[in-house]
Amino acid sequence: MTDYYEALGVDRSASTEEIKKTYRKKARKLHPDVNPAEDAEDQFKLLGQAYEVLSDPQKRQNYDTTGDPDGRSAGFGGAGGGGFGGFGDIFETFFGGGGSGGPASRTRRGQDSLIRVRIDLKDAVFGTTKEVEVETAVTCSVCDGSCMRPGTSPTTCPDCGGQGQTQRPMRSILGTVIQTQTCARCAGFGNIIEDPCQECDGQGRVRERKSLKVKIPAGVDRGNRIHLAGEGEAGIAGGPSGDLFIEVDIRPHDVFTRRGNDLHASVTIPMTAAALGTSITLDTFDGEEHLEVKPGTQSGETLTLRGKGVSHLRGMGRGDLKVHLKVETPTKLSEKQKEMLRMLAEERGEEPGESVTEHKGMFKKLREAWESL
């Protein structure tokens, strides 16, 4: 069995782009018009067959799996000896299957692209516009995607007469039948580009860096993707462009963390401020906000600023800003400060320095009274 990878001269892991590039180079060298070797025509036809199979994703998968581009097993209707692969093969042999019924188009849709953009948390709250650099394939400006040197045109393939397919008689157990195959000389296109564009090497596109302004909506979160239709890689031979996807990442913020559409911040206040009450000035994404801390505030309590969080992606308002209070107990006290705290403890009827016992509930007091009887 012919090894199409060996015939084309590529590895089994070769990409579609590598296969096409290798085929173009070899086709120029092996073409019967420029190659004087006696078997040049046979080599050229084999090269065309290999390219036809390996450039088509479905045929290539079938070939890698079963050894046959059409996905047929050996034998009649299954594994076994030689013969037809099934009734479908007999039908195709009778009526000239194996082709698409006309010349193939050179144009191919370009691939989709994915890039990542990192933004600040504030940009996620309100939305922003970012300018991004993309390295991609764009339509060749010299040939305008035609793949040919300007002023030239393709010639009709002499082997298939522009049909993209060739027919030849074939003897079988059923008699002489006509077999239709993709033309090896023009690879099924029906014409031949004899003078390809030198700028794009006959691809109709070149690689370059381009700048795009991307609008990032308010409320976007880490991992969200923005879809830009038609901003991906330009297609081959003037084919339509693919799409571009922008994946968003968000830098951590020094003060605020995000949970859903809410923002969270922790603020530490002195013990005396928590006891007596105070006011806090917090620098938020909306500007300065003043929060009132009530006397007797305990560590862990939360103050909420409504509508100061992240915008909802669907435009349904904004989340909240939640400020978590942490009461700080002093660790280093002067003798005067210690004395003042002792005086406060005495005033409150507390015994500083003694162990704190749990408050006895009514049922515990009854139980102890019963046990003492």
Q: What is the pLDDT of residues 77-103, one digit of tens each?
A: 333 333 333 344 444 434 444 444 578
The residue ranges of every structural domain in the chain are 106-154+193-252, 257-337
Instruction: Please provide the average confidence, as pLDDT, over all residues in the chain.
Output: 82
Under CATH, which number does the domain 257-337 receive? 2.60.260.20
Q: What is the pLDDT of residues 267-319, one digit of tens each?
A: 999 988 888 899 999 999 999 999 999 998 999 999 999 999 999 987 788 99
pLDDT at residue number 138: 93
Contact by Cβ (8 Å): 150, 140: no
Note every long-range contact of 288-293, with CB atoms under 8 Å and residues 24 or more positions apart, other chains counting.
289/321, 291/323, 293/269, 293/325
| 6 band by pLDDT with thresholds 50, 70 and 90 | confident
Is 200 marked as binding a ligand?
yes
Q: What is the mean pLDDT of residues 114-120?
A: 94
DSSP result, 54-106: HTSHHHHHHHHHHSSTT-PPSSSSSSSSSS-S-HHHHHHHHHT-SS-SSPPP-
Backbone angles phi, psi at 94, to 5 degrees: -65, -50
Residue 263, Cα to own-chain centre: how many angstroms?
28
State how beta strands 302-305 and 321-328 pair: antiparallel
Q: What is the mean pLDDT of residues 137-157?
A: 93
Is 147 marked as binding a ligand?
no
For the record, the structure tokens of 225 come out as 């993707």
Percent over 90 (pLDDT), the chain: 45
| 105 band by pLDDT with thresholds 50, 70 and 90 | confident
Q: Return the number of other C-beta atoms located less than 10 Å from residue 58's C-beta.
A: 11
For the record, the structure tokens of 301 come out as 């309590």
Percent over 70 (pLDDT), the chain: 83
Q: Same fold for the domain at 106-154+193-252 and the one at 257-337?
A: yes
State the DSSP code for 107: -
Under CATH, which number does the domain 106-154+193-252 receive? 2.60.260.20
User: Residue 132's beta-bridge partner residues?
Assistant: 212
Within 13 Å of residue 171, how many CA atoms lie on the same side as its CB?
0
pLDDT at residue number 330: 83
Is 143 marked as binding a ligand?
yes
